[in-house]
Amino acid sequence: MATRRFGARFRRALLYAARLHQRQKRKGTNRPYIGHLLGVASIVIEYHGDEDEAIAALLHDAVEDQGGQRTLRAIRRKFGARVAGIVWGCTDADTIPKPPWLARKKNYLAHLRHDTSRTSASTRFVSAADKLHNVRQILADYRVVGEKVWHRFSGRRDGTLWYYREVVKVLRAHGVTPLVAELTRTFRELNRSAQAK
């Protein structure tokens, strides 16, 4: 297998993501948001993503949380159309305030299901990495704080579980890759833990 190179573009993306999200915390915690972005990028690299996909992983929430279309234009200018396309595909809102939670999630699921753009496979790949990192974190926190974990999320327990269940279904419909299989296993473990209460 050829060596994948992560060079100056990746380093610039890392610094850019750290700057964009420097004041942001993970929902309901005091954890710096950059930890999530690094976690998603790590999963993308672990599952053999290329440099564009790893950069998009670092920036996948930038449009949603840090400036909307202005930030998307900056990402396109700095990192190219493919990275911008993946980031846009991972974005469920680009306005503040965001649309209502349920409508936003249904729209995102529909987009993930029907996207036929040039970056659709990479979008699903980065989305799967994002969701795997999220589900792992929810499961880890659930083991520590129990049912209180659901108060962090707009969908609470039932909505959050519904959303991740649907994401898994959509991704599996496009093919069960090793990453999607790991997301499926991890979600099932979270779901079993939640149902056991």
For 43-95, what is each residue's pLDDT tens digit?
999 999 999 999 999 999 999 999 999 999 999 999 999 999 999 999 999 98
List the beta bridge partners of residue 25: 32
- Helical axes 101-114 vs 156-173, angle rounded to 10°: 10
22 half-sphere exposure, CB direction, 13 A CA radius? 6
- Within 8 A by CB and 6+ apart from 51, the residues are 4, 5, 6, 7, 9, 10
Instruction: Report pLDDT for 196.
Output: 78
Q: How many angstroms separate the CA atoms of 61 and 41, rounded?
A: 12
Given a cut of 70, the residues of the chain with pLDDT beneath it are 1-3, 197
Cβ pair 92, 108 in contact under 8 A: yes
pLDDT given at position 5: 81
Residue showing tokens 């999630």: 105
The pTM is what? Answer: 0.94
Q: Which CATH architecture has domain 8-195?
A: Orthogonal Bundle (1.10)
Determine the residue type at 190: L
Hey, what are 176's tokens?
Answer: 């069960």
